[in-house]
Amino acid sequence: MSHISVPREPLSRRAVLRGLGATVALPFLDAMVPSARAAQGKAFPTRIGVLFMPNGVHPDKWTPEGTGKDFKLSPILEPLERHRGDITVLTQLGHANCRGGDGHYAKTANWLTGTEIEKTTGKNLRCGVSMDQIFAQQAGGQSRFPSLELGTDPVMTGVDFNVNYTMLYGSHIAWRTPTSPLPPEINPRFVFDRLFRENAGQRKASALESKSVLDLVLADAKALRGRVGLDDQRRLDEYLESIRSVEQRIEADIARVASGENLDPAARDAISQLDQRITTAMAQQKDPGSRLRLDHTEHSRLMMELMTLAFWSDSTRVSTFMFGWAVSGKSFTFLDGVKHSHHESSHHENKQEKLEQYQKINTWHVEQFAHLLDRMKSIKEGEGTLLDHTLLLFGSSMRDGNAHSPKNLPLVLAGHGGGLQGGRHLVSDTDTPMCNLFLSMLQLGGVKADRFGDSTGALKGLV
């Protein structure tokens, strides 16, 4: 028996496809809104996504030439050329409250809060409420999940005695309260099950483990498909196929990692040693997701695809993604010419060899961001695309990893949520608070606010 009926009134935005152990939220369909409202483009809410890149950038290869619409993308930002009309490169924004702390931690934990953190080597964390969570408090009640926190590195514990900060500060950018950070989930399977299964634990404990989530909701999907128009049928088919594709990629990548395929001996040894350390910690933390060591490109793209599906299905309207934790030592030897880890390359000491490797790592991150923009632009919503109804902030919490400076941060804002125009290099006054940007993003997302953090007003020239 189908769980879905299509009344004469618009189909509810909370309608879902259900099956034994599975719940699949639906994308926006014409059947969900009166045609007049859909024609006015009011059916689609603004989503906010934030992507954090650790360790700063090669400062001389980041900033575009020219300002306004007359600009040339820098070498690091070249992968965004095809999205030129969808981006705003932001220059001269920073965090005054981050300047007093040493190292990475005093700039990462508060990247989305703009506040000063409590210096501690213990668990008495204190930061501020992050911009994404302010948005979640107002928009989160309209979706299944208030927010979605994603990453690729497990939460790091212990103390960095070089600067006397707990490493917990380096693993979080989302803060629900000043003392409650939200850890990112790094296991794509767990995220997938959370989004599309009623009970993720049920998957492992039953025969449901071998079934695709789409097989479980097939009856509902067929019933719905027969009751909506051709355009909605096409949207539904495309959406469900995307879910199946992600599910297959997750299974294939986890199987590849389990077999050790395509890993060079040095990487395998390093993974094995790290796995032993994590396994010991896992015995206490009971967090099997921390053992994941997937191909970094595929891992990152899976997480970005999950963010996309979460926005597309209106499972959430705000999400953060950390490419790595604050002092990420992730190996990028899979890039031609890169011999050092990310963190080591960022401490370049102005040596040309390290600067070149640093630039290649920065460019890789921008390429992944461009891939996300490709994906969101491919999804049609009304007369526009998913990207037209989204704001995506990409950047780092320091300018140059060698100097650890929180001034003139490397930032790109993409998408057209709230009617934002792109295709610009916006140069603000020196030391303009980054919180001015956050305030503007909240306002574009429909949040009624006139202040955030140390903001002095909405960001001039953005809107």
Task: Work out the average pLDDT over 429-436.
Answer: 97
| 172 band by pLDDT with thresholds 50, 70 and 90 | very high
- Does residue 446 contact residue 138 with C-beta atoms inside 8 Å? yes
Both structure tokens of 297:
């490109």
The pLDDT value given to residue 129: 97
Task: Work out the average pLDDT over 321-328.
Answer: 95
**Looking at per-residue confidence, does 218 or 433 come out higher?**
433
Report the distance separating Cα 356 and Cα 61, nearest Å: 10
pTM, whole model, 2 decimals? 0.83
pLDDT at 88 over 90: yes
| 210 band by pLDDT with thresholds 50, 70 and 90 | low
| 6 band by pLDDT with thresholds 50, 70 and 90 | very low
Both structure tokens of 405:
């400076």
The pLDDT value given to residue 263: 44
How much helix, strand and coil, in percent to the nearest 5, is found in the chain? 40, 15, 40
| 255 band by pLDDT with thresholds 50, 70 and 90 | low
Instruction: Please give the sequence-ordered ranges of beta strands (E in DSSP) within 187-345, or none if there are none.
Output: 318-322
Average model confidence (pLDDT) for the chain?
A: 84
Three-state DSSP state, 82: helix
Element (H, E) at 23: strand 22-25
| 240 band by pLDDT with thresholds 50, 70 and 90 | confident
**Cβ burial, residue 405 (10 Å; 0-12/13-18/19+):** middle
Lowest mean per-residue pLDDT among 4-18, 21-35, 88-102: 4-18
Place of tokens 């004469």: 8
- Does residue 447 contact residue 138 with C-beta atoms inside 8 Å? yes
Residue 462 CA neighbour count, 13 Å, CB half: 33
Report the percentage of the chain scoring pLDDT > 70: 83
pLDDT at 191 over 50: yes
Task: Work out the average pLDDT over 404-424.
Answer: 95
pLDDT at 75 over 90: yes
Going by C-alpha positions, the residue among 109, 128, 97 that lies closest to residue 166 is 109
The pLDDT value given to residue 196: 81
Task: Work out the average pLDDT over 49-75.
Answer: 97
Residue 29 CA neighbour count, 13 Å, CB half: 28
Going by C-alpha positions, the residue among 378, 372, 241, 361 that lies closest to residue 300 is 372
pLDDT 10s digits, 266-322: 444 443 443 343 344 334 444 444 455 678 998 899 999 999 999 998 889 999 999
The residues that bridge with 433 in the sheet, in sequence order, are 94
Task: Work out the average pLDDT over 31-39.
Answer: 56
Look at the alpha carbons of 327, 453, 441, 311 in this order and tell me if their dihedral is positive or negative: positive
The pLDDT value given to residue 267: 41
Place of tokens 């490709």: 374
| 206 band by pLDDT with thresholds 50, 70 and 90 | very low
The pLDDT value given to residue 15: 79
Report the distance separating Cα 336 and Cα 363, nearest Å: 12
Going by C-alpha positions, the residue among 52, 49, 16 that lies closest to residue 32 is 16
Report the distance separating Cα 148 and Cα 408, nearest Å: 28
- Does residue 119 contact residue 291 with C-beta atoms inside 8 Å? no
